[in-house]
Structure 1
Amino acid sequence: MSFDTRSGTRGARQPARNRFERWANLRMAERIRRKGDRRGTKLALVTIGHRTGLERVTPVRWFPAGGGARYIVASANGAARNPAWYYNLAANPDRVRIEFAGKHLDVVAEQLHGAERAAAWAQITATARGFAKYERLTDREIPVIVLRSRPPGRHAVSPNGG
């Protein structure tokens, strides 16, 4: 499915817009990468910048999606615009990694739509009611992304046919 959620016309203040918030997010992501978090509900999302091509790391909350998959939500605290990492996923959905507590996992990102999104959103808002508040603050549909383990790539065929 495509990453196609447009920005809205109203919403809360976009998070991490100043130097201190960016610094704090980076410190949180580094801690999650090394030690995880107390409840085990956050991960460090590693994406490739859609404009720069550079690796970007963002701490995000995740929710179980079954079969080892995870849901993440591009809420931006109810801002009118999607978070920057959403556009990074849209540009490179197959070049994503999640890290937590010293573990690294290559994943593929897919935005959910329709009934799939509705079911996931119901599960997410039942677990974390704050996300329902974000939905009331903005007029955009908040994207729900599923992260699934990337299947191991096939080995390239060597020049000698082996």
Structure 2
Amino acid sequence: MNDFNDRIIAEFRENDGKVGGPFAGAHLVLITSTGAKSGQSRTSPVMYFPDGETVYVIASKAGAPTNPDWYHNLRANPKASLELATDDGVERFDATATVVAGPERDRLYAEFSRSNPGFAAYQEKTDRVIPIVAFHRE
């Protein structure tokens, strides 16, 4: 997965936020967080859902039984740097991550799944409740 992610990150940065393959045409964000154990910067490409000034990300890991590493890192250290693909290029900013829970998580998951049905399939594939992370600009 690291080689795949490295290629997506490089393509994103070389093409002003535009990539092909499975992320072609998707809202894509690069999240740089601090490793929970290593303390090193880690960058992960993921899809995002914008809502005003808030950026939402689903920690699906394609329906795997465990949460993605980036989610674990943000739980340990919620400060992150985001590189957000927009129609006008790439927007960079610092943000604080919070986990959305309960009825609000359920409402957002259903809403996001309507526009991107793959996320509904991911939830059906796993026993865990797939988290949603909200990023608030600093």
Range into which the TM-score falls when normalised by the shorter chain: 0.7 to 0.9
Q: Deviations over 1:41-82 (max 9, x none)?
A: 001111100000000000000012x22111101100000011
1:52 aligns with 2:38: yes
Counterpart-to-counterpart distance in 1, 2:91 and 2:40? 21
> In structure 1, the residue corresponding to 2:48 is in which secondary structure?
strand
Bigger CA radius of gyration? 1
For 2:119, the equivalent position in structure 1 comes to: 131
Q: 2:81 aligns with which of 92, 97, 100?
A: 97
Q: Check the 8 A contact 2:29/2:47 in 1, yes or no.
A: yes
Structure with bigger RCO (C-alpha 8 Å, 6+ apart): 1
Do structure 1's residue 28 and structure 2's residue 8 form an aligned pair? yes
Q: How far did residue 102 of structure 1 move? A: 4.2
Could you list the per-position Cα deviations for residues 9-43 of structure 1 after superposition, in whole angstroms to 9, with x for gaps in the alignment? xxxxxxx2xxxxx1121121232234112535001
Corresponding residue of 2:68:
83
Gaps of 5+ in 2: 19-23
Q: Does 1:113 align with 2:93?
A: no
TM-score relative to the length of structure 2: 0.86
SS of the residue corresponding to residue 82 of structure 1 reads coil
Distance 2:80 2:135 in 1: 9
- Per residue, is there more strand in 1 or in 2? 2
- The match for 2:57 is 72
Q: Kindly indicate whether the alpha-carbon contact (under 8 Å) linking 1:44 and 1:58 is maintained by their aligned counterparts in 2.
A: yes
Describe the superposition over 1:67-105 as per-residue Cα deviations: whole angstroms up to 9, x where unpaired.
Answer: 211110110000001110011000111x20111444311
- Determine the structure 2 residue equivalent to 1:146: 134
TM-score scaled by length of structure 1: 0.74
**Aligned pairs, how many?**
128
| Aligned 8 A contact 1:107 1:148 in 2 | yes
Matched residue type, 1:128: N
Runs of 5+ in structure 1 lacking a partner?
1-15, 17-21, 151-162
Partners of 1:82 and 1:39 lie apart in 2 by 25
Residue identity over aligned pairs, in percent, reads: 33
Taking the aligned partners of 1:39 and 1:111, their CA distance within structure 2 comes to 26
